[in-house]
Amino acid sequence: MNNLSALNRPQVLHSIQSQEFDLVIIGGGITGAGIALDAASRGMKVALVEMKDFASGTSSKSTKLIHGGLRYLAQFDIALVREVGRERAIVHRLAPHLVLAKKMLMPLVEGGTYGKMSTSFGLMVYDFLAEVKGDDKRVMLSKEEVLKKEPLLRPDILQGGGFYAEYRTDDARLTMENIKTAVQHGALCLNYVKAEKFVYTKGKVSGVHCKDLLSQQDLQINCKLVVSATGPWVDGLRKKDQSLKGKRLFLSKGVHIVVPRERFPLKYTTYFDVPQDSRMLFAVPRQRSTYIGTTDTEFKGDKNHVIANQEDVDYLLKGVNSMFPDINLTTEDVESSWAGLRPLIFEEGKNASEMSRKDEIFESETGLISIAGGKLTGYRKMAERILDRVSQRMKERFKISFPDTDTAKIILTGGPFKDKKDVKKYIKTIQQQLPVDLSKNIAEYLVSNYGKQTEIILRYMANFTDDVAEIALARAELKFTVENESVHTTMDFFNRRTGRLYFNLPSIAPIKTAIITDLQKYFAWDNERLAQEKQELETAIEEASHFEYSAV
Ligand code: FAD
């Protein structure tokens, strides 16, 4: 039985309640997904519950870069730079179709964050620590060379630039492929199941009381140990466990805006100074769009409803227009946006931008282990650290030993690919199989989203007889994601599985009726649920593309 088929949910719900697990993980973002894979690959019996959709928290709202720690180098945290630098290459190797090697440009400007000498030296050390080789090594460019690469940059304050290697991914897809790989190793992972309270035996956590948010049924999962990987919600669960003492989270909101590539025809991901303050922004070209981010402001609102407001959009537009003066982007150009929360560990006297991005593990007297902070880039190492702790506790408390594992060798679902050349070759093969009326970028989109699973989608597509190829393809994607990726709602599909809400919003209108009609058939929705799903899609589109000033 495929445990990630949304159609098999009743059986998985039954199975999760009828056994004792070694480890229950709360939270299905990248941190929980990475932990589930590491634990399952060590032979532990693992269950993971996520209260909304997988990756619906911070893990679908990042800048989507698997990047080393240039900022850590500025703070002389050499060990961390080495760790994240090496991680980039490992995660790329595990899924080269999804974690794409991209060249990055850092223009140097008068009065900017980084000077010429320090950037040259910094990037050299960065390459050395991260073991970057060959053509990927950093190159320092003159002002003229930078302008040749990126003619849209502002020439008057430009002094030169650094050109170096980083990686771009889709955070939600990376989370999903980790969940799927964990399930292949025996984990049971359920979305829309909320952990409501802990169960204790002799003062130690021995299970979790949950609610299935799709059926409103209560359930209990029994286990030896519980890890909370709930990102911005970590303190809430520590509070339920009555162990919220000492260090706490500080939530910082980060917004990105998306504009059509034709309005901002950027060639390379660019990391540039914002002249009006001391921060830096990313502008990232991605297929038909370019996205710009991010803001970094303290957040105290509702963690379940975080959206970009007009102040965020104004700040990003002002920043990007001041470094790329000819593009003159306005709010009208903003096609979509997203806003996420960084779960930072609070440090007295520092503002959001200055606080460390390091992860932190909290362990309570009841045995609850919580992890927060960190980066998408470091998820595999964070999982390793958690599992070392979990294994130690298994030995001490339950006298059970589990073998070590090496997740650096576990290829993620969607692969295997030898390297980026192999991915390119595969994209060409897929392109030849697609109907001529589908745009050329579709093969690239499909392969970066699904890797070799694209073949299953194309097989499904052949059975849909819609006149419009785009509709047949979307329906095939839906069938694949319902059967293999626990899609239960319209937004699971349009946001986390396909990225359409952010990166191809205009593509939603022509296919939405077909998608919602199929979903209704898969799940036998009544009219009330149908109307609710339609409304949720319209609200999500409205909130991603229209902005208001926050009430003062
Ligand atoms: P989350 O993704 O938030 O996952 C926690 C999950 O727990 C949520 O899905 C939530 O629904 C679930 N949950 C909470 N309570 C419960 C409960 N009671 N029961 C069940 N489930 C529950 N990192 C990088 O490496 N590169 C970047 O480019 C980058 N850019 C960033 C840009 C921004 C704006 C932000 C905000 C972060 C960025 N990061 C980046 C950091 C990175 O995104 C985060 O470190 C990472 O996504 C955190 O993942 P997580 O799994 O810990 O948290």
Q: What 3-state class would DSSP assign to 434? A: coil
Q: Does 130 contact ligand 1 (Cβ within 6 A)?
A: no
Q: What is the DSSP letter of 346?
A: P
* Ligand 1 mean position, distance from CA 346 (Å): 16
Question: Is the preceding peptide bond at 294 cis, omega within 30 degrees of 0?
Answer: yes
**Contact (Cβ atoms closer than 8 angstroms) between residue 501 and residue 485:** no
Instruction: Count the neighbouring beta carbons within 10 Å of the beta carbon of residue 440.
Output: 8
Length of the chain: 552
For residue 253, the ligand 1 atom closest to its alpha carbon is 36
| Alpha-carbon distances of 324 from 166, 274, 310, 486, rounded to whole Å | 22, 11, 20, 42
- Chain center to CA of 508: 21
Q: Is the CB of 367 under 6 A from ligand 1?
A: no
**Which of 48, 58, 344 is the pocket-test mutation for ligand 1 (most atoms within 8 Å of CB)?**
58
Q: Using a 6 Å cutoff on CB, does residue 225 contact ligand 1?
A: no
CB 38 within 8 A of CB 406: no
Distance 30 CA to ligand 1 centre (A): 7
Within 8 A by CB and 6+ apart from 454, the residues are 430, 446, 447
Helix 441-450 to helix 454-462 angle (10° resolution) is 120
User: In the 3-class helix/strand/coil scheme, how is 308-319 assigned residue by residue?
Assistant: CCHHHHHHHHHH
Residue 175 Cβ < 6 Å to ligand 1: no
Ligand 1 centroid distance, CA of 232 (Å)? 7
Confidence at residue 552, expressed as pLDDT on a 0 to 100 scale: 57
Cα–Cα dist 129/79, whole Å: 9
Beta-carbon contacts of residue 419 (< 8 Å; ≥ 6 apart): 96
Please give the Cα distance from 210 to 199 (Å, whole number): 10
Determine contact, residues 207/198, Cβ cutoff 8 Å. yes
Residue holding tokens 């970057």?
132
Query: Using a 6 Å cutoff on CB, does residue 231 contact ligand 1?
Result: yes
Q: Do 156 and 11 meet the contact criterion of CB atoms below 8 Å apart?
A: no
The closest residue, in CA terms, to atom 33 on ligand 1 is 62
Nearest protein Cα to ligand 1, atom 14: 230
CB–CB of 143/155 below 8 Å?
yes
Q: Measure 180 CA to ligand 1 centroid, in angstroms.
A: 18
Determine which helix (DSSP H) or strand (DSSP E) holds 148, and give its type and residue range. Answer: helix 143-149
On whether the CB atoms of residues 187 and 358 are closer than 8 A, the answer is no
The DSSP call for residue 440 is T
Place of tokens 């000033």: 549
Decide: 375 in ligand 1 pocket, CB within 6 A. yes
Nearest ligand 1 atom to the CA of 372 is: 52
The beta strand positions in 287-441, using DSSP E, are 289-293, 297-298, 336-345, 359-363, 369-373
Any atom of ligand 1 within 6 Å of the Cβ of 48: no
CB of 232 within 6 A of ligand 1: the answer is: yes
DSSP 8-state code for residue 70: H
Q: Please identify, by atom number, the ligand 1 atom nearest to the C-alpha of residue 49.
A: 20
> Does the CB atom of residue 380 touch ligand 1 within 6 A?
no
Q: pLDDT of the chain along its 552 residues, tens only? A: 899 999 999 999 999 999 999 999 999 999 999 999 999 999 999 999 999 999 999 999 999 999 877 777 667 777 877 888 889 989 999 999 999 999 999 999 988 887 788 788 888 888 887 778 888 888 999 999 999 999 999 999 999 999 998 899 999 999 999 999 999 999 999 999 999 999 999 999 999 999 999 999 999 999 999 999 999 999 999 999 999 998 899 999 999 999 999 999 999 999 999 877 888 999 999 999 999 999 999 999 999 999 999 999 999 999 999 999 999 999 999 999 999 999 998 877 777 666 777 789 999 999 999 998 889 999 999 999 999 999 999 999 999 999 999 999 999 999 999 999 999 999 999 999 998 888 878 999 999 999 999 999 999 999 999 999 999 999 999 999 999 999 999 999 999 999 999 999 999 999 999 999 999 999 999 999 999 999 999 999 999 999 999 965
Evaluate: CB of 30 within 6 angstroms of ligand 1. Answer: yes
- The Å distance, Cα 464 to ligand 1 centre, comes to 36
Pocket flag, ligand 1, residue 254 (CB < 6 Å) = yes
Rounded to whole angstroms, the Cα distance separating 431 from 199 reads 52
HSE (side-chain half, CA atoms, 13 Å) at 94: 24
Give the three-state DSSP class for 305: coil
User: 513: helix, coil or strand?
Assistant: helix
51 lines ligand 1 (CB under 6 A): yes
Contact between residue 3 and residue 197 where contact means Cβ atoms under 8 Å apart = no
Beta-carbon contacts of 500 under 8 Å, excluding residues fewer than 6 positions away, are 494, 507, 508
Contact status, residue 84 vs residue 378, Cβ threshold 8 Å:
yes
User: What is the DSSP pairing of strand 158-168 with strand 188-190?
Assistant: unpaired
- Predicted TM-score (pTM) of this structure: 0.97
Query: In this structure, are strands 336-345 and 269-273 parallel, antiparallel, or unpaired?
Result: unpaired
**What's the one-letter identity of residue 70?**
L
Q: Is 58 in the pocket of ligand 1 (CB under 6 A)?
A: yes
The residues, ordered by sequence, that sit 6+ positions from 213 with a Cβ below 8 Å of its Cβ are 51, 52, 192, 193, 194
- Between CA 374 and CA 345 the distance in angstroms is 9
pLDDT value for 352: 67
| Cβ contacts of 126 within 8 Å, gap of 6 or more | 68, 70, 73, 81, 85, 132, 138, 164
| Contacts with 470 (C-beta within 8 Å, 6 or more apart), sequence order | 438, 507, 510, 511
